[in-house]
């Protein structure tokens, strides 16, 4: 920790009765910008919470101000947050932080405020903004819904793999060098996820994306299901011809290229699922983001290899699976997060 920054971080089990800090006070610090839709939603939620928590005091800091950015950096250091830049909205209550406007965070914040109302949670800044004193005897709130993360990412990988285009492509692999195809597919999918994280992170600062992404996932799911009878979602013939040429050669380079192309083209069916997976990890640290992206992509790869072993070309069934999966994941995302 930088020695030039004086930080007093007090976690008290029992708060002594003092005149300086009211026992029941709840201090909430929120970092935002005026142009951030998710920030406006979070601000509205906190303002409504004032009715239930009358001792709540909200301190707002627009990160477009350089001094507020320095304060944000201080809070990140005190709370030991491993995040890059200045993700918003970011809410600090006592020793806990809540990044992003999600259903999970709203429930966690409500739990935190309920505890703070009985025991008090205060954050005090010195005039020079170089010292922050936190008094918070309450436990960090937890929700059991966090346990849904692992199965969510695993199921997302499974549904992404089981799409009509993948089933068609893997049925044509007939060489021991097929591992090049799987390697290229895995690498492309992983890089795609990281690229989408950056894009969505930028867009989410301008537009509140949670609702639109759920709509996209559910809509693509319905179109895929309908495509079982009427081909609404389908890969353009020119793309299919290009993939056929690569599959016909079976050379190492062509197999690797086929893996890249298959991953990208299959987005016709799986784009909604990718968006949900990436958006769920938007406020994760890099280490947690990498871990969960690997879970998602390894699940996808394992099922892809099994699909290769079975060599089934039942396109209607796979349209139904990936479509139904996209709808289910969209609904779960909406209800849980």
Tens of pLDDT along 184-219? 999 999 999 999 998 988 887 677 788 899 999 999
Q: What is the pLDDT of residue 201?
A: 82
Q: What is the pLDDT of residue 143?
A: 59
CA-based nearest residue to 284, from 105, 138, 128: 105
In the block, tokens 């030991």 appear at 80
Query: For 89-103, 137-151, 271-285, which range has the lowest pLDDT when averaged over its residues?
Result: 137-151
Q: What percent of the chain has pLDDT over 70?
A: 90
Per-residue pLDDT, averaged over 51-68, amounts to 93
For residue 89, cis peptide bond before it (omega within 30 degrees of 0): yes
Per-residue pLDDT, averaged over 39-67, amounts to 93
Per-residue pLDDT, averaged over 19-36, amounts to 77
Q: What is the pLDDT of residue 144?
A: 54
> Around Cβ 173, how many Cβ atoms within 10 Å?
20
Q: How confident is the model at residue 23 (pLDDT cuts 50, 70, 90)?
A: very low
Q: What is the pLDDT of residue 15?
A: 36
Indicate whether 14 pLDDT > 80.
no
Q: What is the dihedral of CA 217, 221, 222, 228, to 10 degrees?
A: 160
**Cβ contact 25:54 at 8 Å:** no
Q: Give per-residue pLDDT as tens, 136-193.
A: 999 998 755 455 688 999 999 999 999 999 998 998 888 778 899 999 999 999 999 9
Q: How confident is the model at residue 312 (pLDDT cuts 50, 70, 90)?
A: confident
Indicate whether 17 pLDDT > 80.
no
Q: What is the dihedral of CA 78, 81, 82, 84, to 10 degrees?
A: -100
Q: Give per-residue pLDDT as tens, 104-134.
A: 788 889 999 999 998 889 999 888 888 889 9
């Amino acid at each position: 920790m930088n020695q030039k920054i004086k930080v007093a971080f007090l976690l008290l089990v029992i708060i002594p009765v003092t005149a300086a800090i009211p026992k029941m006070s709840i201090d909430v610090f929120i970092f935002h910008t005026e142009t951030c839709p998710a920030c406006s939603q979070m601000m509205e939620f906190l303002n409504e919470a004032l009715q239930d928590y009358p001792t709540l005091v909200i301190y707002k800091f627009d990160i477009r101000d350089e001094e507020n950015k320095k304060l944000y950096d201080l809070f990140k250091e005190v709370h030991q947050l491993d995040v890059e830049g200045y993700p918003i909205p970011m809410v600090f209550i006592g020793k806990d932080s809540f990044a992003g406007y999600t259903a999970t965070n709203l429930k966690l914040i409500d739990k935190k405020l309920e505890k703070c109302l009985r025991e008090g949670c205060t954050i005090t800044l010195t005039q020079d903004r170089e010292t922050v004193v936190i008094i918070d005897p309450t436990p960090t709130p937890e929700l059991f819904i966090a346990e849904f993360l692992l199965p969510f990412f695993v199921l997302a990988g499974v549904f992404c793999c089981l799409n009509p285009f993948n089933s068609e492509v893997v049925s044509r692999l007939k060489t021991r060098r097929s591992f090049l195809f799987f390697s290229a597919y895995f690498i492309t999918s992983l890089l795609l996820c990281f690229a989408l994280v950056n894009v969505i992170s930028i867009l989410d600062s301008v537009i509140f994306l949670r609702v639109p992404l759920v709509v996209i996932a559910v809509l693509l799911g319905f179109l895929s299901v309908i495509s079982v009878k009427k081909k609404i979602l389908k890969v353009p013939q020119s793309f299919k011809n290009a993939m056929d040429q690569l599959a016909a050669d079976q050379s190492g380079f062509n197999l690797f290229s086929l893996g890249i192309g298959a991953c990208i083209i299959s987005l016709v069916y799986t784009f909604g699922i990718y968006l949900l997976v990436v958006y769920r990890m938007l406020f994760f640290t890099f280490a947690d983001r990498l871990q969960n992206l690997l879970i998602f992509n390894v699940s996808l790869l394992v099922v892809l290899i099994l699909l290769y072993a079975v060599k089934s070309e039942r396109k209607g069934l796979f349209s139904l699976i990936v479509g139904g999966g996209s709808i289910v994941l969209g609904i779960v995302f909406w209800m849980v997060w």
